[in-house]
Amino acid sequence: MESLAKLEELPLSQWVAGSDWGYPIVLCCHSIGMSLVVGVVLMLGVRVLGYARGIPLSAFETLFKFAWAGFLLNAGSGVLLFMANGQALIANWTFLLKIVLIVVGSVLLYGLWRRAAGEPEAMQSKTAFTPATRALAAATILCWLGAITSGRYIAYVLGAALEAGYQ
């Protein structure tokens, strides 16, 4: 916790936490990054589940560039948000759940893309994906939606962590 306290004392952390513009700007960047990542994940997931079969999955190769840009924006802004209030966030179960869901969702997304690529006919929209691949798509979607939900819920639980003495 001492290292987190030192992190919160950095000028950049103080700017994010204390200025009128710091937190809103960083949070806005975080939201934009999240929309890019989760937007592409949802489009891929619902495509694998059977919606818009006329769109070949090869079209997602271009969209993944936007998802990576969003992920980098999200990671950078997320680090800044954490730096501003790390002691309280590390004790926040919804924050920890969000991080776990992001990691699991990322692993599932990688597996989904690899598995879908192994079904070339389905990738080119000629047949449906196997039930296992569709289940993987559903699990990926659930993880990312869970990450958004738990991330939004942080604000409601954070007050309890602050009251418990985590500044």
Task: Convert the pLDDT of each residue in 18-58 to its tens digit.
Answer: 889 999 999 999 999 999 999 999 999 999 999 988 888 88
Give the predicted TM-score (pTM) of the model. 0.87
Residue 89 and residue 78: Cα distance in Å, rounded? 11
User: Structural domain boundaries of the chain?
Assistant: 2-163
**What are the residues whose beta carbons fall under 8 Å from the beta carbon of 137, sequence distance 6 or more?**
44, 45, 46, 48, 49, 112, 129
Residue 82 and residue 90: Cα distance in Å, rounded? 9
